[in-house]
Amino acid sequence: MDRQPSELRQPSERLKRQERLNRQERLSRQERLNRQERLSRQERLSLKEILLPRLTPSCRR
């Protein structure tokens, strides 16, 4: 009887640790994704700013 609670306690601890790790991983992955999205959006915007002035006159004519 004494042994069971400890056995039960351990997996819960392990599970908690795993959950925490998973949450951290998910957060970091989300942050990385957000940063990448922001970067790509900025790049796209800058590309548009660079390319559009050259392209629009030729496209309209």
First-last CA distance in the chain: 87
Structural domains in the chain (count): 1
Alpha-helical segments (H) within 1-61: 3-60
Where in the sequence is the domain holding 35, given as residue range(s)?
1-61
pTM: 0.45
Q: What is the pLDDT of residues 32-49, one digit of tens each?
A: 999 989 888 888 888 788
Q: What is the pLDDT of residues 17-26, one digit of tens each?
A: 999 999 999 9
Compute the distance between CA of residue 26 and CA of residue 59 in angstroms, rounded to an integer.
44
